[in-house]
Amino acid sequence: MRKQIILAVACLLCLGSGWAQSKKQTNMGAPHGETDFVVNWKRYYNYDEWTQIMKDLQKKYPNLCSIESIGKSRMGRDQYVLTITAKNTGKDTEKPAVWVDGAIHGNEVNGITCSLYLAWYLLTRYDYDERVYEALNRSTVYILPGLNVDANDSYVRYPNTENNPREPFRPLDDDKDGLYDDDMTEDVDGDGELSVMYAEDPEGEYRLSKDGMRFVRIDKTDWWEGTRFRRIGNEGYDNDGDGKMAEDDLGGIDPNRNFPFDFTKVDGKSYPLSEPETRNVWMFMKDHKNILVDFNYHNIGKLIMYMMPPKATKPAQRRYNMNRTAEKPDKYAFKWDTPVDPEYAHDKAVQERIVSDGLFILKDYTPEEGHAYGETLASTYYMLGAYSYLIELWNSPTSYADTNNDGYVDDDEFARWVELDLGGDGWVKPHQVEHPQLGKIWIGGTSKKHIGRTPPGRYIEDEAARQCMFVLHCINQLPQVKFTTHTVRQVAPNLYQVEVNVTNDKIYPTASDRSVLLNRYTPDKITATLSSGTLVEPGKSEKPEEETGWFRANYIKPATAAGKEVTFRMQGQSTETFRYTIATSNPKGTTLRLSLNSANGGKDEVTIKLQ
């Protein structure tokens, strides 16, 4: 019986702080859980495959992961979200949270990989990695790998150009002929890739390049006696008999112009949240007030796009430069050169710090101010108060093929990269085809689907791993509020003052400036109880007392007068001091017990003896 009691107590202690890290690994060269659930990260997955990975992760890690459908797409596919947190340390909705989604545009499927990789990394490393262990014990991560599921699946599964399908599948009549999506790009030669069609023409403006890999425009100053070609257009058929090819392709409304904030019909058409895919996401995020940070994966361009607070309505006394002072330059740090309204000063400081850290982690990414016009990040910041980031992934092969470092990849550099880095794979070589409507034509001279907007397989994992570290850094910077130090002093006979410091050493506050102005947050609260004596309540109009004297003014932070309850909002990387005044004739027998309850910063307690 005694052994059973001891075992039960040990189990309860374990449950109180998360599952024990029985496999904790400190050797960086040893496995950290990746062999516990093996995934090939050098390929793209279709809808059935990536959702099966999600379901298998949930089965493998049921104590850390839940899966649910937040709704269905226009074509009836479920939009599955993974909720990742240590379940035994609290409910997911009672912890600060990060939202991550990928591929709101159908062709940007490397966002699916980055989102799914993050889920896999957190779950497989929880038992091995102290930072991941801490993150999931005190926070929640909601992950929707593929947002635009119908177009995402089509892009991976079928022949497509690198730019399409992009929008959700709402039928539209692009060429105004009364028919919907009737002239799509189609795989005429059956090679699994979509390219461009050319016809031999003595008056044509194109010829084959010397290596036979491209159609190049003939310079008017050159005399060309070889075969000339005329460009017909994208690969496909003339299904409606209007003499045009592929002019009415799949697609509908841009989903990243379909969110509510600053919506315009020019960009978003129809009405806000007209698409079930965007509506499902918005309703989930709106109902989860614990989401403090929002990540949306796009491509292309290697950018960290951040949502800037409202610009100042009055001229600022001080302006900021994009780089730090010349005495201490830092290429990974930046400051906005546009001032913001004073009530958004902390949001500005938070975003500057986070984006600077992101530039260091991602190295070759650059910062850019986000836009509005119905975009996700504008709506989640301005309407929900969440710090929002739109990550533009990849950048064609610029980082790898730009051999002369001029920031541009010309045709020769591109061809060399395809030949040497990709072993010749990645290019549709021009070849003759019999077209049922056009007769003998040529098809080719372009790159394959996974090169321009999405990286070839060998580059996928590297980008996903770096993005994972950026998001993990942000997760670890979610607020954590706790009592730190305190002082007790006697200010008069039978009258004592206790000053208590409350600290949040993380970058993110318990609520953004924007959420405070929206009144979309739960204030942090400290509740005080005394064992004996009387807690003197501060007057309703009482302000923190003026600090006088050189020592106090320079070394002691002004304190906020507090009573039985005090509410506040804890900023990032800050300390607040609260002063309690106690009347008692028995200081030896008097203790002050303080309970801290922060919806997004956690809970803490401290008991202070007056003596």
Could you tell me if 226 and 163 are in contact, meaning their C-beta atoms sit under 8 angstroms apart? no
Residues 6+ apart with CB under 8 A from 70: 79, 80, 81, 144, 280, 281, 283, 284
Helix, strand and coil in the chain, % to nearest 5: 25, 25, 50
Q: Phi and psi (nearest 5°) for 533?
A: 85, -170
Query: Does a structural domain hold residue 357?
Result: no
- Give pLDDT, residue 320: 36
How many other β-carbons are positioned within 10 Å of the β-carbon of residue 588? 10
Same domain, 142 and 194: no
Structural domain boundaries enclosing 586: 481-609
* Segment 47-87, tens digit of pLDDT: 999 999 999 999 999 999 999 999 999 999 999 999 999 99
**pLDDT band, very low/low/confident/very high, at 182 (cuts 50, 70, 90):** confident
Based on the fold, state whether residues 382 and 439 are members of the same structural domain: no
Same domain for 498 and 381, yes or no, is no
What's the token pair of residue 420?
Answer: 């040497």
589 & 542 share domain: yes
Work out the pLDDT band at 25, boundaries 50, 70, 90: confident
322 assigned to some structural domain: no
Are residues 230 and 82 part of one domain?
Answer: no
Q: At what angle do helices 130-138 and 457-476 cross, to 10 degrees?
A: 60
**Are 386 and 276 in a shared domain?**
yes
Q: Verify that 446 and 515 share a domain, yes or no.
A: no
Determine contact, residues 109/44, Cβ cutoff 8 Å. yes
Q: Does 444 score more than 80 pLDDT?
A: yes
Say whether both 41 and 109 belong to one domain.
Answer: yes
Spatial strand order of the sheet with 565-568 comes to: 565-568, 524-530, 591-598, 602-609
Q: Are residues 207 and 76 in the same domain?
A: no
CATH of the domain at 297: 3.40.630.10
Asked if residue 66 and residue 151 are part of one domain, the reply reads yes
Residue 143's contacts (CB-CB under 8 Å, 6 or more residues apart) are 81, 82, 84, 100, 101, 115, 116, 118, 119
Counted domains in the chain: 3
CATH code of the domain in which 501 resides: 2.60.40.10
414 in a domain, yes or no?
yes
> 232-290: per-residue pLDDT in tens?
999 999 988 888 877 777 778 899 999 999 888 766 578 999 999 999 999 999 999 99
Where in 404-473 does DSSP place strands (E)?
Answer: 427-428, 431-435, 439-443, 446-447
- Give the residue carrying structure tokens 């006394």: 317
Instruction: Indicate whether 177 and 65 sit together in one domain.
Output: no
555 within domain boundaries: yes
287 shares a domain with 246: no
Query: What's the CA gap between 253 and 273, in Å, rounded?
Result: 10
Backbone angles phi, psi at 48, to 5 degrees: -60, -40
Residue 167 lies in a domain: no
pLDDT single digits (tens) 315-363: 444 333 344 344 455 777 777 777 888 999 999 999 999 999 999 999 9
- Per residue in 372-399, pLDDT (tens digit) is 888 999 999 999 999 999 999 998 888 8
Is the pLDDT at 152 greater than 90? The verdict is yes
